[in-house]
Amino acid sequence: MGGHPVRIAVLTSSRADYGNYLPLLKKMKVDSFFKLKIIAFGTHVSPKYGNTVDVIHADGFDVAYKLETVPEYDNAKGISESMGKTITRFSSLWEMEQENLDLVLCLGDRYEMFSAVSAAIPFNIPVAHLYGGDTTLGAIDNVFRHSLSLMSTLHFTSLESSAKRISQIIGTSENIYPVGVLGLDNLNEIALLTKAQFQQKFNIDLNSPVLVTFHPETIAYEKNQQYVNELIEVLHILDKQIIITMPNADTMGSVIRKTLLNFAKGKKNVHPVESLGTIGYFSCLNYCSFVLGNSSSGIVEAASFGKYVIDIGNRQQGRETSKNVIHCEIEKNKIIEAIKLIETLPILEDKNIYGDGKTADRIIKILKNKKCIIKL
């Protein structure tokens, strides 16, 4: 191994990324085989999104670099300019670090991750990618995800079907490993909050809430105002407690955010939250009545809690799902029908096709195989 630990740059652009990485980071931190350099960018270092890089520090991790790359505007031009800015900032970083790194670890499918990894390619730093091969038809993320697969030398996928798709994309089945989703390992590592603890932390007295997260559809972004209006029409007539987590920094995200916050004003049963964090979100999942929206968490994590999910629109279309997911058009009456259907369905078993809580161990075992660390 060249006489040194495997030096890995971990790219994290959001609190969601970091929460997913966390089980793996904890095990790598105490393993002398690895030396981590965490690089935080995107919404992590944005005051608008809560400066969530502080969460990384609070967990006892050092952050080697903090790069401000959030788009000034959430329109197409703003996203495109942010991609250019991200490439420029990372090009300088990779130039400094190219001789100090053996591997770049990246996760997901977003434009900022694509930009950061693109900048690394001319420096010949090997890339390991988490969750390539998935499909989401309602977001431009598909393009970035598949591009990241082409740029990577090592692939950790959520499902066997995703591994097969990557082999079709890159033209080989080598160095592709279906390991499951890291985020589910968190369920074995963290203690969920009690209702009293949740209330103390978030000032919300949980009462079987509907957990709502609605992100922009970045393929048909011009329809997002119409879509969120349809969702609001449903929320208006729900006689339930509603917890809304805010959308991410995608095209038209601010329009959705503004509409949701305006809806929540003056309503005692509606609680908008910027971010619940991993423990808070899982705790809310544990106590919620069902999940409504288009977040990947409804596809991946909710099944482990035995919760039904009404997945609206096309953002997550194309992904494999457990038996808990009901797909639905973003149309008021269709969503109401899906809610009524859930009330008639049996209690779910907590079986999840995305993992068994042992993904981090699998990844570490693979990384310790010298053949996978291309630069060594």
CA-closest candidate to residue 305, choices 197, 242, 233, 211:
211
pLDDT band at 74 (very low <50, low <70, confident <90, very high): confident
Look at the block and give the residue holding tokens 């040194």.
Answer: 4
Chain segment 99-127, per-residue pLDDT in tens:
999 999 999 889 999 999 999 999 999 99
pLDDT above 90 covers a percentage of the chain that reads 72
80 Cβ neighbours under 8 A, 6+ residues apart? none
Which residues partner with 154 through β-bridges? 128
Least confident of 72-81, 91-100, 136-145: 136-145
Homologous superfamily of the 6-181+356-372 domain (CATH): Glycogen Phosphorylase B; (3.40.50.2000)
Q: For residue 46, what pLDDT is reported?
A: 86
Q: For residue 1, what pLDDT is reported?
A: 44
> Is 376's pLDDT higher than 50?
no
CA atoms within 13 A on the CB side of 172: 9
What's the average model confidence in pLDDT over 282-308? 94
What's the average model confidence in pLDDT over 279-286? 95
Least confident of 95-104, 225-234, 243-252: 243-252
Q: For residue 81, what pLDDT is reported?
A: 93
pLDDT above 70 covers a percentage of the chain that reads 95
Q: For residue 129, what pLDDT is reported?
A: 97
Delimit the CATH 3.40.50.2000 region(s) of the chain. Answer: 6-181+356-372, 195-342
What's the average model confidence in pLDDT over 303-327? 92
Compute the mean pLDDT over every residue in the chain, rounded to the nearest whole number: 91
Does the domain at residues 195-342 carry the CATH identifier 3.40.50.2020?
A: no
The values of phi and psi at residue 11, to 5°, are -95, 125
The values of phi and psi at residue 222, to 5°, are -70, -15
Which residues partner with 62 through β-bridges? none
pLDDT band at 43 (very low <50, low <70, confident <90, very high): confident
Q: How many CB atoms lie within 10 A of CB 254?
A: 17
pLDDT band at 217 (very low <50, low <70, confident <90, very high): confident
Provide the phi-psi class of 212: left if phi over 0, else alpha when psi is between -120 and 50, else beta: beta
Q: For residue 189, what pLDDT is reported?
A: 79
Chain segment 334-366, per-residue pLDDT in tens:
999 999 999 999 988 778 999 889 999 999 999
> Is 287's pLDDT higher than 90?
yes
Looking at per-residue confidence, does 116 or 297 come out higher? 116
The values of phi and psi at residue 7, to 5°, are -95, 115
Sign of CA dihedral 189, 59, 101, 81: positive
Chain segment 160-189, per-residue pLDDT in tens:
999 999 999 999 999 999 999 998 998 887
Hey, what are 224's tokens? 């997002």
What's the average model confidence in pLDDT over 126-145? 85
